[in-house]
Structure 1
Amino acid sequence: MLKFEDRFAAWNNLGTHLTRFLSNLDEPQTGWNEELMRVVNTDVHHNGWFDKSEVLHALGEWAKALSEESLSTWVEKYPRSSFEPTTSKVVGIVMAGNIPLVGLHDLLTITLTGHVAKVKMSSDDARLLPILLKQLGPLNEQIEIVERLKDIDAVIATGSDNTARYFEHYFGKYPNIIRKNRKSVAVLKGDEDPSTIEELGKDIFRYFGLGCRNVSKLYLPADFDLNRIFEAWLPYQEVVQNNKYANNYDYHRALFLLDRETFLENGFVVLKEGERMSTPVSVIHYERYSDIDTVVRQLEEKADSIQCVVGNVSSEKLAVVPFGESQSPKLWDYADGVDTVTFLSTI
C-alpha cells in the first residue's frame, strides 16, 4: 500500500495532466493527450448523451477538484487516521453512467483513504476512466476493474430506485452506501436579474438534465413572468441539436398536445405547472408560491429525495448552492449527503 502522501500526489498528478490537456485543446495532441482527445471526440458515438462539450466540462470540473488546494482543503477536514486505516479493505463500486465520470469521486475516496477498489463500470461510461487511470501510476495497484463484484468487504452502489432494490438484495449483507433517485430544485424570489436566471440554465441544461444535481423543478413567486425565463435561457437553445434530447422534446411536446395539457415551450424546453420534482428530459415543472418560508419547510420535509436546492435561501437540512453551480460540486459536497470518508473509516 502506498503512503498517504503518494496516494495524494497520484490524484493531484491526474489533475495536473487534465489541466494541461484542457489548456491545449487546439494544439496537436500526442501520447496520453491524444488518446484522451480521441475518446472525448468519439464518446458520443457510444453514448449519445456524451457530447464533446459535456465530456470536456466534466474533465474541467475534475481538473479543478484534483488541484492541490482542493484536495488539501478536503483532506484537512478529517483526522489523518481517516486516510491511514489499520487494515485495508476491499470496497466494491457500482458506477452509474448518466453523466461522464459520475463514479470517479467514489474511486478517489476509496483509494485515498487507503482501501482497495473493485470497480464495476457502467457500459454507458466505460471509456474515459481507463484512460484517466493511466496517470495514477502505482496507485493502480489499489484499483481493479471487474465485470462482477465478489470477494469484497463493503460496497458503494449508485443507481435508480429500481436498481437500489436489486443492490439491497445482493449487497445488503455488507456495509454499504446505496444511492437511489434524487432530484434537484430551484427557488426563485423574483428579484433575480437576467444573468442570474441565465446561470440557472446551467443547472438545468448541463448534461441535458440527466444528473441528480440537475434542476428539474422551479418554485416561483405567484406573479413571476415566465417570459423572463425563456429570454434568459436562449443561450442554451443548442441543446436541441443533440438527437436524443430533441427526440425527448418532440415526444413529450406531442404527448402534451394530444392530452390537451397546458404547457409553455420555446423550441427546446417545455415549462409545465406540476407538483412532481421528477420530470422527463426537456421538461421542467414549476410551482408558484405566496410564502417562501412555507416552500423551504416543504422542501425540508422531502430532504431525503432532494440532492440540492439552487437559490438564495437558508436551510440547515438542505444542500443549498448558488445559481449556476449545481454541477460544479466541491469534493466535500457528498452525493445524498452521505460522507464517504466517514463511512470508509468505519468498515
Structure 2
Amino acid sequence: MIHQSFIQLSDIFKKYLQNDTSTPYYDNIQKSIHQAEVLNPWFIRPFVHTMLSHISHLISKESIENYIADFKTASHPKNILVVAAGNIPMVSFHDVMTVLLSGHTLILKPSSKDTILMKMILQLLQDIRPNLKNKIFIVENTISTKNIDAVIATGTNNTALYFHQYFAQYPRIVRNNRTSIAIIDETTTDEDLKKLADDILLYFGMGCRNVSKIFIPKNFDIQRIFKSIYNYRFVMQHHKYMNNYDYYRSIYLLNKENFLENNFLIVKESEQLHAPVANLFYQTYTDINEPLKYIQNHQNEIQTIVGKNYTPFGMSQFPNISDFSDGINTKNFLMEI
C-alpha cells in the first residue's frame, strides 16, 4: 500500500540526518539541498534539515497508520491540483502526502521558490514505488483548468482572491495569509521563552505557524525575550534577513517610532498582527480577556496560538499529522469530492 512508501521515505530521511553516507539517495539529497539554497537563499541547510526531521516524524509508521485509519481511498480517483506555497521549505508536503494517500492523482504546481526539494521528494517516492509515476504530475508553467477535478491552493490574500475566481467551478480549499501569536503570563519560565525562540525565528519567521506577535503582562521584562533568542544570533550572517532588519530599523528611526532591538530582531509595540521579517510585535495586557478578545477578532488570520493551555512553547512549527492548516480537514475534503 502507498503508505508503506511514505514509511520508507521516513527511514531514508532519518538515515540521511544521521549522516549515514551508505544510505541510498544520500548524495542526491545532499545535492538537492545545496541546489535549493542556491535557488532560494532563505532555505539554509539547518532549516531544511529541521523540516526533513519533522517530515520523517510525520510519516513514521505509527503516525501515518493512525492518520489513514479512517481514510477511505478513492474508488474513482480524480485529478487534484495542489498549488504550493514556498515561504518555508517543503511547506506543501502535507497536501501532497494527503492527496497521494487518498488514491487520487496529484497535479502539483510547485512554488518557484521551492521546486527542487518538492521534486526531490516526489522522485524519491517514485523510486520507492514506481507505479506512482502514473499518479504524480508536475505543472511547470501556466496553470490550466483542463483535466482537474478539485484544487488545494495556498497563497497570499491577493492570490487567494484570484484562486477563488479562477477555480470557481471546482471544489477547492484556498488558504491565504495567516500568522501565529503567543500568550505569555506570569507563569512563563525562561525555559519556555527559550523554546519560544523557535516559534519566532525558525525559518526566519516566514511561516504561517511562526509567532509574529506576543501578548505580555503589563509588568513583563521585555529583555527576557532578547535573552531567550540569543541562540538565533546566527541569522546576523544572513544578508537577506539582515536587509529586512536594516530596512525596518531605518524606517522606524525616520518616523521616530519607539522600538527595541538586539542587532538582529526588532521588538515593537503594535496592535497589528502581522509583523514583517526581523520584527516581533507585542501588546501588553492587564486582564487575560484582552488577548482572548483580540484572538476572537482575528480568528481568520491566526494559524496557531502558543502558550499555556494552547500549543506548547517551541512546538508551533511541529504540528502533528492531523493538525490541518487553517483548521480545514483535507482528508475529509478529498474523501467527499
Unaligned runs of 5+ in 2: none
In structure 2, C-alpha distance between the alignment counterparts of 1:130 and 1:72, rounded to whole Å:
24
In the alignment, is residue 296 of structure 1 matched against residue 292 of structure 2? yes
State how far apart, in whole Å, the 1-side matches of 2:167 and 2:332 are. 19
Q: Does 1:215 align with 2:211?
A: yes
Deviation at 1:83, TM superposition (A): 2.6
Aligned twin of 2:51 = 58
- The alignment status of 1:121 with 2:117, answered yes or no, reads no
CA contact (8 A) 1:10 1:139 kept: no
**Which residue of structure 2 lines up, in the alignment, with residue 331 of structure 1?**
321
C-alpha contact 2:29 2:120 (8 A) present in aligned 1: yes
Per the TM alignment, residue 28 of structure 1 is displaced from its structure 2 partner at its CA by: 4.2
Asked if the contact 2:80/2:150 (under 8 Å) is kept, the reply is yes
Q: Is the 8 A contact 2:35 2:116 kept in 1?
A: no
Q: CA RMSD for the aligned pairs?
A: 1.3
Residue 327 (structure 2) pairs with residue 341 (structure 1): no
Deviation at 1:31, TM superposition (A): 5.3
Is 2:266 aligned against 1:262?
no
1:75 to 64, 68, 72: 68
Any conservation in 2 of the 1:10–1:135 contact (CA below 8 Å)?
A: no
Q: Distance in 1 between matches of 2:108 and 2:271?
A: 37
- C-alpha distance in 2, partners of 1:335/1:29? 36
Letter paired with 1:57: T
> Who is 2:81 aligned against?
92
What displacement does 1:22 show?
A: 0.8
Q: CA offset at residue 126 of structure 1?
A: 0.4
1:196 has 2:189 as partner: no
Give distance in 1, aligned partners of 2:322 and 2:132: 22
Instruction: Please list, as runs of the form range in 1=range in 2, the aligned pairs for 1:1-347 lying within 5 A after superposition.
Output: 6-24=1-19, 28=21, 32-76=25-69, 78=70, 82-136=71-125, 137=129, 138-147=131-140, 148-149=143-144, 150-313=146-309, 320-347=310-337
Give, in whole Å, the separation in 2 of the partners of 1:118 and 1:343: 16
Instruction: Give per-residue Cα distances to partners, 1:295-321, cap 9 Å, x unaligned.
Output: 2233133211110000013xxxxxx31
Please report the TM-score for the alignment, with normalisation by the length of structure 1.
0.92
Which AA in structure 1 matches 2:38?
A: H
Q: After superposing the two structures, state which structure 1 stretch, 145-154 or 158-167, moved more.
A: 145-154
Give the corresponding residue for 1:317: none
Letter in 2 for 1:113: S
Deviations 1:230-277 (A, max 9, x none): 111111111121111010001111111111100000011000000111
Would you say the 8 A contact 1:43–1:52 is kept in 2?
no
Q: In the TM superposition, what whole-angstrom CA distance separates every residue of 1:136-180 from its partner, at most 9, and x where no partner exists? A: 222232111113243100000000001111111111110000001
Unaligned runs of 5+ in 1: 1-5, 314-319
Q: Distance in 1 between matches of 2:186 and 2:262?
A: 21
Of stretches 147-156 and 61-70 in structure 1, the one that deviates more from structure 2 is 147-156
